[in-house]
Amino acid sequence: MSATLGVLLKQLDASLSICMVEKLDDVAKESTSGWNNAGTGHAAYCELNYTPEKADGSIDASKAFAINESFERTLQFWTHLVKQHALPDPTSFINPVPHLSFVWGEKNVSFLRKRFAAIGNHPMFVGMQYSEDPAVLREWMPLVMDGRDASQPVAGTRIPHGTDVNFGSLTRSMVGYLQGDENFELLVNHSVDGFTRQQDGKWRVLVKETGSATTTEIFADFVFLGAGGGALPLLQKSGIDEGKGYGGFPVSGQWLVCKKPEIVSQHFAKVYGKASIGAPPMSVPHLDTRIIDGEKALLFGPFAGFTTKFLKEGSFLDLIASIKPGNLWPMIKVGLGSFDLIRYLISEVMQNHSDRMDALREYFPLAKDEDWTLASAGQRVQIIKRDPLKGGKLEFGTEVLTSADGSLAALLGASPGASVTVSAMLQVLEKCFPSQLATPEWQGKLKEMIPSYGVSLLNDPALIEQIRQDTLSTLGVIPAAEIVQVAEELAA
């Protein structure tokens, strides 16, 4: 998040001085590390939780359209940076991996059929295929179909131009690009420890070097708290009124990972299923092809867990230290009202390898216990906030919070996460740099970086086609010839 904001600001105003402070010995070692997240370029192609079924049985596709549009903005920004040689060869951070949804059982098949009817013909989801034919599904995902009960009704959708993203590699490249500028400084092994607002309006930021008593002061007109799970404690330390009443609920994650080439080579897709009842939306099970730093692997999960740490490299005291008079009531209310979530987390925590393998065999029936190992994923801190009706509510999204004067912004939450960085950071610009953003200079530069900036793609098939031809071919997600074919289908 911080790297994206840094690059956006540098592109908009090269004279800005930017200092990035990182607690660990390098950037992108927490949630953004390739192995700590699922690397799905979330475009709502396969994630069934973005198209919930309403009480009347119809599909609410509004979130799917919003997420697809948001990811389009992200792809445009990366495309611009690749063309400028600010980012290296795109295969170092993005690779085409088809996005599939897969369900079984009459009720779920009927849901997927309705979902396809709701979005499958829209230009934003062009190229989406639907099938209930086991032979077709086997072609798309042999490991998922082999050994499956033939009497079971099944259905799937597939979009060929889905993506697997190595957000860690992308972030390191972005920070590398920033380091080429003399007005940029990266301080690693330094923690932001506190803030004070000065009379002149600047923030005095206290920064501590790891393993030393040395404290450095940084004076800044604007501060962005892009500290992942560490953003909430920093927001509390800033003392801004807008941060009062916010709390956090940490959820950890684990994956089953398989690196055996003879198995990995048989699956080329991200296959998302339906979440179990009570499961938070980010716990939707999926069987993924991952391509990280040239290495291919299969990953299944996530299996949720509970910890009191806000960061993987955090402290067990994080949760308790975050409880303040202002957020105590919302936290109690959420704790008392989240039975399904708590039950779900307890059941996840109690699982052993054999239970997890049983969950995997619902997606890969012939999977063998010895081929898969357990790995820890990153931490997510879900947002708890005040609610006028219920006292407190738990949210699974991402929220940009800013001080009234726009001198400080923080990003809370982690879902849909890294895929929506550009939209999230555009929100920061809109809230914190409104006068600069209104100038023809910034507007022109933003349009250059993100051609769909300020316009809706929803009702503009011609613009979607034009943008996708550029993004998908520049980023190597789909060869230009296939885009032309998709465009012809769209025109037809």
Ligand X SMILES: Cc1cc2nc3c(=O)[nH]c(=O)nc-3n(C[C@H](O)[C@H](O)[C@H](O)COP(=O)(O)OP(=O)(O)OC[C@H]3O[C@@H](n4cnc5c(N)ncnc54)[C@H](O)[C@@H]3O)c2cc1C
Binding site for ligand X (CB under 6 A): 1-2, 21-24, 27, 29-32, 36-40, 42, 167, 191-192, 226-228, 230, 234, 253, 302, 311, 377-380, 411, 414, 416-419
Helices 167-179/62-83 angle, 10° precision: 40
Nearer to ligand X, 155 or 218 (CB): 218
Query: Rounded to the nearest whole angstrom, what is the least distance from the CB of residue 246 to ligand X in the complex?
Result: 16
Shortest Cβ 407–ligand X spacing (Å): 18
CB 21 within 8 A of CB 187: yes
Q: 87 vs 10, 196, 292, CA distance in Å?
A: 14, 36, 17
CB of 2 to ligand X, least distance (A): 6
Looking at beta carbons only, is 65 or 224 nearer to ligand X? 224
* Nearer to ligand X (CB atom), residue 30 or residue 470: 30
**By three-state DSSP, how is residue 333 classified?**
helix
Please say whether the beta carbons of 442 and 435 come within 8 A: no
Q: Please report how close the Cβ of residue 29 comes to ligand X at its closest, in angstroms.
A: 6
Task: Give min distance, CB of 427 to ligand X, in A.
Answer: 14
Least distance (Å) from ligand X to the CB of residue 205? 10
Task: Say how far apart CA 472 and CA 37 lie, in whole Å.
Answer: 23
Rounded Cα distance between 462 and 465, Å, is 5
Q: How far is the CB of 233 from ligand X (least distance, A)?
A: 7
- Using CB positions, name the residue nearest to ligand X: 228
Choose between 218 and 263: whose C-beta lies nearer to ligand X.
218
Half-sphere exposure of 11 (CA within 13 A, CB side): 25
Instruction: Output 94 or 449, the one with its CB closest to ligand X.
Output: 94
Please identify, using beta-carbon distances, which residue of 154 and 302 lies nearer to ligand X.
302
Asked if 315 and 307 count as a contact pair (C-beta separation under 8 A), the reply is no
Compare residues 163 and 403 and give the one whose CB is closer to ligand X.
163
**Residue 250 zone, left/alpha/beta (φ > 0; ψ -120 to 50; rest):** beta
Q: Which residue shows structure tokens 């303040």?
A: 324
Taking the complex as a whole, the smallest distance from the CB of residue 167 to ligand X amounts, in Å, to: 6
Q: Could you write out the DSSP letters of every residue in 128-188?
A: -EEE--HHHHHHH-HHHHTT--TTS-EEEEEETT-EEE-HHHHHHHHHHHHHTSTTEEEE-
Q: Are 369 and 277 in contact (CB under 8 A)?
A: no
Q: Are 388 and 330 in contact (CB under 8 A)?
A: no
Q: Rank residues 155 and 205 by Cβ distance to ligand X and give the closer one.
A: 205
